[in-house]
Amino acid sequence: MKTTRFIQLIGICIVFGAIAALFFVKMEDTAEVVIEQEQTKVLHETVVEGTETEPVPEPIVEPVTTTATLAAVGDVLIHSSVYTDAFDGEAYDFKPMLAPVKALLEEADITFANQETVIGGVELGLSGYPNFNSPYEVGDALKDAGVDIVSTANNHTLDRGEQAIINAITHWNKIGMLYTGSYESFEDQQVIRTIERNDITFAFLAFTYGTNGIPIPTGKEYLVNLLDVEYMTDEIKRARQEADVVVVSLHFGNEYEPLPNEEQKRIAHEVANAGANIILGHHPHVLQPVDWIETDSGESTFVIYSLGNFLAAQEGIEREVGGIVRLEVEKTTFKDETTITIRDPRFIPTYASKQNWRNYRVYPLEEVDNSILANANDWYDKTIQHMNQWVPELLFSFE
């Protein structure tokens, strides 16, 4: 009996406690509502009392920054000993030749290569120096190694005529590789090649100083883009309309000269002033240094005057050493303005090794030991000193 009453008492206490708690919560709610109403009133009064020109506070806009990397390699120059080495009796396979550098090529957001020889395919008959025609499988290997776009404007573009160019383009399209500098029609030439990565659009143009004296068929000037400053300027302006960054591939300079000549420097300055952000030079078959070009409008254009050979069968160590250049592009968008900055230039020297015109392999030069190349370390040191002579901040690692 006593216990029951005690429980009843506790029950009553809980009920009263709950009512009291609800009451206080309700009071607080009411208080908040009152305060909110007060604030609304104050705000309302401010608006009413203010003049019509009272500024409306703008939403805070923060700059948006994004980056993407671009890598490039030089001449893919398929001499007959290179395609012979790639043939196993049934098919051509160039992938093992690029395997030691594949990770470095894949690592960049976009990778470019100069396809010096036309991949017209076996049906036209393969050929080496001086009028090259290479197997389609060269393209397959580049694609597999991470290359996204090839330059096809160089002095060997017309080596095997129009049919080789058309065959090559058919294959590039088949494997989904972008090509620039040599086209199948005027309509094709009009299409600016662009690649977008991380909200940054890159446009790629390519031009060559000439075609080894082989005339361009009249009425088919789209077959190869020539290095004409006025034409290049127009094309760069057109590319600027469609892209944040303009990359210009220039096939120019004197073969086997380690430094750019005055003509290369003059053309590079013209191209930079026309609006190119990055200039990728090739043709000398040896490396020429990197540099920054200050444009008339105060921007900095990056140039590598010659990327050297990437995969070729030329003799002499300077012609076997090439490299992978890499840059970071930063895009900052703030309100209606977009700023592009090219920075962090890096370079990995490479070595195209062979033994008795067989076993072609492209290695990072730093990984090559004396059994592959005598005094490999000295060649590495010599190469980096050559490449950074005008740009001391050039780094030699992608890490």
Residues that bind Zn ion (CB under 5 A): 154-155, 283
Q: Which is nearer to Zn ion, 104 or 153 (CB)?
A: 153
In the structure encoding, which two tokens stand for residue 16, read together? 């009263």
The residues, ordered by sequence, that sit 6+ positions from 366 with a Cβ below 8 Å of its Cβ are 348, 349, 380, 396
Q: Which is nearer to Zn ion, 171 or 283 (CB)?
A: 283
- The distance of closest approach from Cβ of residue 143 to Zn ion in the complex, given in angstroms and rounded to an integer, is 22
- The distance of closest approach from Cβ of residue 288 to Zn ion in the complex, given in angstroms and rounded to an integer, is 13
- The distance of closest approach from Cβ of residue 255 to Zn ion in the complex, given in angstroms and rounded to an integer, is 7
- The distance of closest approach from Cβ of residue 192 to Zn ion in the complex, given in angstroms and rounded to an integer, is 24
- The distance of closest approach from Cβ of residue 77 to Zn ion in the complex, given in angstroms and rounded to an integer, is 8
Q: Which is nearer to Zn ion, 189 or 208 (CB)?
A: 208
Nearest position to Zn ion, beta carbon: 283
Q: Which is nearer to Zn ion, 115 or 350 (CB)?
A: 115
| 287 neighbors 321 (Cβ within 8 angstroms) | yes
DSSP assigned state of 222: G
Q: Which is nearer to Zn ion, 152 or 155 (CB)?
A: 155
- The distance of closest approach from Cβ of residue 284 to Zn ion in the complex, given in angstroms and rounded to an integer, is 8
In the structure encoding, which two tokens stand for residue 334, read together? 């703030």
Q: Which is nearer to Zn ion, 69 or 208 (CB)?
A: 208
CA separation for the pair 383, 322 (Å, rounded):
9
- The distance of closest approach from Cβ of residue 285 to Zn ion in the complex, given in angstroms and rounded to an integer, is 7
- The distance of closest approach from Cβ of residue 144 to Zn ion in the complex, given in angstroms and rounded to an integer, is 24
Q: Which is nearer to Zn ion, 154 or 225 (CB)?
A: 154
Q: Which is nearer to Zn ion, 167 or 249 (CB)?
A: 249
Tokens 């990565």 belong to residue? 197
- The distance of closest approach from Cβ of residue 282 to Zn ion in the complex, given in angstroms and rounded to an integer, is 7
CA separation for the pair 45, 183 (Å, rounded):
69
Q: Which is nearer to Zn ion, 283 or 326 (CB)?
A: 283
Q: Which is nearer to Zn ion, 180 or 277 (CB)?
A: 180
- The distance of closest approach from Cβ of residue 227 to Zn ion in the complex, given in angstroms and rounded to an integer, is 12
Q: What is the DSSP string of 295-327?
A: -TTS-EEEEEEEEBEEE----SHHHHEEEEEEE
